[in-house]
Amino acid sequence: MNWIDKLEKKFGRYAIHNLMYYVIILYAIGFVVQITAPEFYMMYLSLDPTAIVRGQIWRMFTFIIYPPNTSMFFFLISMYLYYSIGKTLEYQWGSFRFNLYFFTGVVLHIVAAFICQYVFGMNLGTAFGTYYLNYSLFFAFAATYPEMQFMLFFLIPIKAKWLGIINGIYFGVTILAGFFANYLPVHILYGLLQVGIIAFPAYSVMALVSLGNFLIFFFGMRNMRRYSPKEAHRRHVYTKSVKQGQKSAVTHKCAICGRTEKDGDHLEFRYCSKCNGNYEYCQEHLFTHTHVK
């Protein structure tokens, strides 16, 4: 049993089921905020370490509402994509492990923002929003289902593992470029900037720490068996139906009040020999009921 198994055994009952459903709702709220009053998010809700230190603790939670995209078309596509990814990972891992993965990413996101602010003097938490948090979900999906196929630009079929490798290379260059920026020639730094890579240590730390949950859980879950999304969904539905069946199954039930043995250990039930049929009653109604003929 690894450390994740131990945590699940102790805290599994506190897991939020269908977590991505609530995350998508938060993104939808964030999208409305960004469209109607973007300055409100930056001033009061974003991940600003200096404001948090001054007492605005809620920012460690409210920054999560930042949507993956502010264009309506791409926002809807992103919502569908991330909901599907999150739901599939929850089916595969279970609610507790998916919760642990997601919220570990949130915590590391906060840690990275504080490091950038108080070590490098750069407030990057407000700039990146939930960028790395969303990518950590995609990396987890690509590692779990490498053969799953996406339609790039709605036309080009490409497997998840290749998208994961391409994005992994991009983030790897981002991390290395920042740490070795002083040794790189100017034309290379300029070329990196053209593809959106800023060669500065703070950006490297932000990427490395924020994606740390993927590295932690990749090794922590490396021996987990893989299932197709359909098989994972079937297993989830089966497990849920079994649990519901166990909850609904009762041995004794009073024909008058409907109470069962689950309503109290003090309750006792008896069949009435004078009723026509197998009618069972609690002690309170055993001698007071009207016999069924």
**293 residues of the chain, pLDDT tens digit each:** 477 778 888 888 889 999 999 999 999 999 999 999 989 999 999 999 999 999 999 999 999 999 988 889 889 998 999 999 999 888 888 889 899 999 999 999 999 999 999 998 888 888 888 888 888 999 999 888 888 888 776 678 888 889 989 988 998 998 999 888 888 899 998 998 888 888 888 999 888 888 888 888 776 655 444 444 555 555 556 556 655 655 555 578 888 888 887 777 778 888 887 888 778 888 888 878 888 87
pLDDT score, position 223: 47
Task: List own/partner pairs for 139-143 with CB under 8 A and 24 or more apart.
Answer: 139/164, 139/167, 139/168, 139/211, 139/214, 140/89, 140/101, 140/214, 140/217, 140/218, 141/85, 141/88, 141/89, 143/214, 143/218
What does pTM read for this prediction? 0.71
CB neighbours of 25 closer than 8 A, spacing ≥ 6?
none
pLDDT score, position 227: 45
The domains of the chain are located at 3-245, 250-286
Nearest C-alpha neighbor of 117 from the set 69, 183, 214, 46? 46
Q: Which SS3 state, helix, strand or coil, does residue 34 take?
A: helix
pLDDT score, position 210: 85
What is the rounded distance in angstroms from the CA atom of residue 213 to the CA atom of residue 108? Answer: 7
pLDDT score, position 145: 86
